[in-house]
Structure 1
């Protein structure tokens, strides 16, 4: 079962999401909370696989909660959950801030129910999930940041040619199997490269590494 935590200050939204996800045989909603502070506590209590996190909430907002949940990875048993930002807004800075904070993806609340269920499964498998509208804005925004791009290029300057190729693939959202096929490597070798890249670049997860690839122009 994929264990899901719902976080939204609008209880009707939580009820709607619970109804959608509860219809899937392989998904269980383990808790719903209504602010960021309670979300962190619930992650510690229930250990969910996926968190659907509203970004705009009173008190501790979603961005802060994502940062705190990502930081739990160093202190709790097992990996932290995949946190997917769920909001009605798709402005560039919300996308970027959520991903930089450690989110595994970004979905609009207008995502169709059948797509939402499938994307929760994708997130639970460790892959990036992103709404099409948010992705277009993210790519367009990154293309215009020449000064920031230079700074991010310097950050990846010590990578080997092969490491840079793997990072570029992460920027495309490819799975380990897809990267292995493209670069003619074994999946085990790709997994090793990804782990070393995350350590070398100081990224919390492959989503952050993929964002860095975008920002560096890979």
Structure 2
């Protein structure tokens, strides 16, 4: 994994924590977004811890370029965890939209940080303690007042719409399967189709997408 943060002391602390684990290791560090892109291209890390506010280039733009480079190159994109100081940091929403797999507060307990890294490495999203929906709802309230954008749902089949709305509300695959009386394999298939049709990469992006278009009340 790689660590990107402009605070040397913070990086030193994370380095010591990560290197104390038998199943983790750092292949590089960077102090700004531009260096982060170079690290991602050179080392192709599985996981990146990315500060959002840095000189030269912020973590949002770095995340966007790293994800796009991986897509263009046909390689697996690193799973990026955005790091922030504030629980309602609107930059987190932008980072998720850019392709981040989740976000953590810099004040997170060491055990939670390690668990989050392992969770993201396994292919799941991770968020700071508290409700992710409150973050996106806060962003929506600060956006121009518009009605729900129902046109995007026309791209989905009836069952895909059901899966989309349940996933956007935070239900797990098992909970969705129980609610819709289908298997988890069927839910996974529908969810992949929904993400592809809406050009989204993660479930976390799906949640942001639903809030931005005010679709959770539909």
> What residue number does 1:114 align with?
111
Asked whether 1:53 is paired with 2:38, we answer no
- Stretches (4+) displaced over 6 A: none
Q: Check if 1:171 corresponds to 2:176.
A: no
| Cα-to-partner distance string for 1:145-193 (whole Å, 9 max, x where unaligned) | 6845523x33233322211222233324455455445434334333322
Q: Distance in 2 between matches of 1:149 and 1:25?
A: 51
Residue aligned with 1:185, SS: coil
Please give the secondary structure, in 1, of the residue aligned with 2:185.
Answer: helix
Q: What is the alpha-carbon distance in structure 1 between the residues aligned to residue 171 and residue 41 of structure 2?
A: 30
Provide the C-alpha distance between the structure 2 equivalents of 1:185 and 1:112, rounded to a whole number of angstroms.
38
What does residue 81 of structure 2 align with? 84
Q: Which segments of 5 or more consecutive residues in structure 1 lack a partner in the other structure?
A: none
Tell me which residue corresponds to 1:19: 16
RMSD: 2.4
Alignment CA distance shift 1:136-1:52 (3 Å):
same
Q: Which residue number corresponds to residue 217 of structure 1?
A: 215
Give secondary structure in 2 for the equivalent of 1:32. strand
Distance in 1 (CA, whole Å) between partners of 2:47 and 2:170 is 18
Equivalent pairs, count: 214
Deviation at 1:67? Answer: 0.5
* Residues 15, 26 of structure 2: 8 Å contact kept: yes
8 Å contact from structure 1 (residues 92, 134) kept in 2: no
Match of 2:195 in 1: 198
| Contact 1:127–1:175 (8 Å) recurs in 2 | no
**Residue 174 to residue 76, structure 1, CA distance change in 2 (3 Å):** farther
Name stretches of at least 5 consecutive residues in structure 2 with no aligned partner. none
